[in-house]
Amino acid sequence: MTKRELGIHIDTMLDITSKAKQYAYDSFNLIMLDSSVKDMIVRHDKFLNKTRSAFWTLAIIETHKLFGGGYDYFRFENLFKLLRSNYPNSEWKHNISLDEITHIESIFSSNEMKSKIKELKELRNQHYAHLDQDPNNHIMNIRLFYKDLEELFAISEKVCINLKEKLFNTQCSKVMLDKNSINQLIDKLVDYNRMKGMESIKSIKS
């Protein structure tokens, strides 16, 4: 694996992180609204409820590409295998030592991380990507929340950026979120419903 190919591989993992992070954020913000009016609009809109659920499902599926197993080529487990197998003849071995690679990989060895990844795999494999007839746990009993995904995204960014900076001697910026689109959409719906209400009042008066 050339240095360029490795860079593309890590960039792809950052792109996956970016998509997953945005899906999760948008799903969460269709729940955690800043007014009772917005909450009422979203709760009573079937399309928005489906959208919220779809964003969450996509967030789980995309995140699994990084932390899953099997055929997920861009999972971290495979990244470290590629780093080790290509290390002896690599053009980037002078930028990072095997000890440093082992140290970075150890982040995934904590019981907390293993627990979150286990819940992620179960949610994706038995409820979202496939629907098992007899899953290990009911979906409501799987303890994986938005804050857990946030922690996985933070780890993903930290590892990818750390590796990229060491391998390429360059500064990398964190994944940026679009924090406005959902709020702007809901604000437009609030304005639309307010206008409809005013028109209804006018028609009653006339």
Question: In this model, does residue 205 exceed pLDDT 50?
Answer: no
pLDDT tens digits along 145-163: 788 889 999 999 999 999 9
Q: Tell how far CA 80 is from the center of its chain.
A: 20
Which phi and psi (to 5°) does residue 24 adopt?
-65, -45
pLDDT of residue 197: 62
Average pLDDT for 62-85: 92
Q: Which domain holds residue 39?
A: 3-205
Structural domain total, the chain: 1
* Structural contact between residues 66 and 17, judged by C-beta atoms closer than 8 angstroms: yes
Q: How far lies 11's CA from each of 18, 29, 79, 196, in Å?
A: 10, 27, 12, 47
Sign of torsion over alpha carbons 185, 186, 192, 195: negative
Q: By mean pLDDT, which of 4-18, 36-50, 97-111 is the weakest?
A: 36-50
pLDDT of residue 58: 92
Sign of torsion over alpha carbons 111, 116, 121, 127: positive
Average pLDDT for 173-179: 81
Radius of gyration of the CA atoms of the chain, in A: 22
pLDDT of residue 63: 94
Which phi and psi (to 5°) does residue 137 adopt?
-135, 150
